Amino acid sequence: MKANDYHVTMDALVSLCKRRGFIFQTSEIYGGINGFWDYGPLGVELKRNIKACWWKSMTQLREDIVGLDSAIIMHPRVWEASGHVGNFKDPMLDCRETKGRYRADQIVVFKHKTDADALMFAFHEGTEPAASLKKAKKLTNGSALMDDYETVALLDIPLDRYSKLVGPDTNEPGTLTEPRAFNLMFKTYVGPVEESSNVAYLRPETAQGIFAQFSNVCSTIRNKVPFGIAQIGKAFRNEINPRNYTFRSREFEQMELEYFIKPGTDAEQHEYWVTERLKWYEKVGLPEGRMHRDIHSAEALAHYASACTDILYDFPFGTQELEGIAARGNFDLTQHQNASGKSMEYFDEETKEHFIPHVVEPSAGVDRIALALLCEAYREEWIPKNGGEVLTAEVGAKRAPEGYEVRTVMRFAPCIAPYKVAVLPLVKNNEELVAKARGLFERLSKRWKCFYDQNGAIGRRYRRQDEIGTPLCVTVDFETIEKDNCVTVRDRDSMEQVRLSIDELDSYISNIVDF
């Protein structure tokens, strides 16, 4: 499976997300604001389920990890010590003509291999060579030939050659400014006076809240190393170029674990966490075939890190990072110890040693996982009207072939589906039947997020649930009340139905939907 094996386009997905209430542009009534998104009634459930599955896997199913919920605004010295004030920067450049703003490390240049005076063409990373050549031909009166050109990083182009460089959105050379560093942290002021002594930052990651509370947590839980502290929460980055729907946003949520370990166990613990996290992704519905490990080379690592592996997923717009797992040594705790003057040492009762623990940090983005799950779940199928094989619809096909109807279905893993069960009375004009269905709905709702729907033909109600990804539909019919106290349970993916006693329902549902 690869990005291009999808049966969905981003346009179709974005349209479903808006239509069914997964994701809305924030403050849309005022024209929106780039890089910020709202999650609608279904999106919020999806995100809560992703966070609940992570939290359960980290803090409930293991004894060695505890949780934390630290403040979004912390003492500004936290960000000085962590290096974010000095180093959390991206190179940015502008086009004087179009006023476009670009991240310099996301721009590539299509340049002549030998002729230093030839025009060069800047493009967004990922642009097909054929598209680059088309523009080069247009601006060189057709003389550009593919074999004469190569693609290089913009940051490798010397500044004295910028006069020959044509910007991504213009046909004029010499309009791009030189790249300059731009700090991604959002600044604010604490208190009524906007002066430099009151500057504070919205956190760009949740991790530093964990490091800053390391000693307090250590002394309250008295766990032995190795142990972890997990946190889920909002993070903010003033991204130069938010893009790919919610993938790169300016406000997003992270799920971060700092797993504190004995120095020297870094490599084995790092490998362990990469494997654990990949198992988790499979469990929430991202198949192995679309997941990748990007293992950073020794040269690409920060000076304090001994390993870093990014977990990538094949999105329809390319293979991109969902999570980074880094072995960061004891850099962060040491930085905070030096800056605050407070000891970050751990005392090992067994060996009677004092040391600053090393850390392995799996750091995942909730919004990126939600987007990956939405992409993965989306299917359009052609259902035969008179029995036969279900077909996968062609991408972009407007209508089904003769004898078939279209079904849009979100094949979420049940544990992350927004609604777990829909309860449907077969008809709405029979009081006893409706009362039975309502009673069942209220009972199941105590345990799971359920949907009650009595309007329309049963087939149409099934389709509505398919489109929002509800794994199970439970139909209450006349036999339920008159005969056997059984209900029909329909599976979203196979569309098969089984007849079950209401008494068996809870354990049947639990086996399917609980993480």
- Residues interacting with ligand GAP, by CB under 6 A? 205, 207, 237, 239, 248-249, 252, 254, 256, 321-324, 361, 363-365, 367-368
Closer Cβ to ligand GAP, 49 or 249, answer by number? 249
Task: Give the shortest CB-310-to-ligand GAP separation in angstroms.
Answer: 7
Strand segments (E) across 262-306: 291-295
Task: Give the shortest CB-224-to-ligand GAP separation in angstroms.
Answer: 24
- The number of helices, as runs of H, and strands, as runs of E, in the chain is 14, 28
Q: Provide the token pair at 110.
A: 């299509």
Closer Cβ to ligand GAP, 205 or 376, answer by number? 205
CA distance 453 to 448: 16
Task: Give the shortest CB-244-to-ligand GAP separation in angstroms.
Answer: 9
Closer Cβ to ligand GAP, 252 or 382, answer by number? 252
Is the Cα dihedral 449, 454, 458, 461 positive or negative? negative
Nearest to 512 by CA among 416, 440, 373: 416
Closer Cβ to ligand GAP, 49 or 363, answer by number? 363
Q: Which residue is nearest to ligand GAP (CB)?
A: 365
Task: Give the shortest CB-78-to-ligand GAP separation in angstroms.
Answer: 13
Task: Give the shortest CB-304-to-ligand GAP separation in angstroms.
Answer: 13
Please give the full DSSP string across 159-205, using - where no structure is assigned.
Answer: GGGGGGEEPTT-S-BT-BPPPEEEE-PPEEESSS--SGGGEEEB-S-
Closer Cβ to ligand GAP, 57 or 132, answer by number? 57
3-state secondary structure 32-63: CCCCCEEECHHHHHHHHHHHHHHHHHHHHCCC
Task: Give the shortest CB-196-to-ligand GAP separation in angstroms.
Answer: 26
Pair 409, 379: CB distance under 8 Å: yes
Task: Show Cβ contacts of residue 350 under 8 Å, excluding neighbours closer than 6 positions.
Answer: none
Contacts 24+ apart (CB under 8 A), 107-111: 107/153, 107/154, 107/168, 108/151, 108/152, 108/153, 108/154, 109/151, 109/152, 109/153, 109/154, 109/156, 109/157, 109/165, 110/135, 110/136, 110/149, 110/150, 110/151, 111/149, 111/150, 111/151, 111/152, 111/157
Closer Cβ to ligand GAP, 185 or 509, answer by number? 185
Please give the full DSSP string across 354-397, using - where no structure is assigned.
Answer: EEPPEEEEEEEEHHHHHHHHHHHHEEEEEEETTSS--EEPPTT-
Closer Cβ to ligand GAP, 166 or 235, answer by number? 235
Task: Give the shortest CB-324-to-ligand GAP separation in angstroms.
Answer: 4
CA distance 448 to 506: 10
Closer Cβ to ligand GAP, 76 or 204, answer by number? 204
Task: Give the shortest CB-59-to-ligand GAP separation in angstroms.
Answer: 18
Closer Cβ to ligand GAP, 84 or 112, answer by number? 84
CA distance 263 to 261: 6
Task: Show Cβ contacts of residue 225 under 8 Å, excluding neighbours closer than 6 positions.
Answer: 260, 261, 262, 346, 348, 357
Task: Give the shortest CB-246-to-ligand GAP separation in angstroms.
Answer: 7
Closer Cβ to ligand GAP, 243 or 283, answer by number? 243
Closer Cβ to ligand GAP, 186 or 452, answer by number? 186
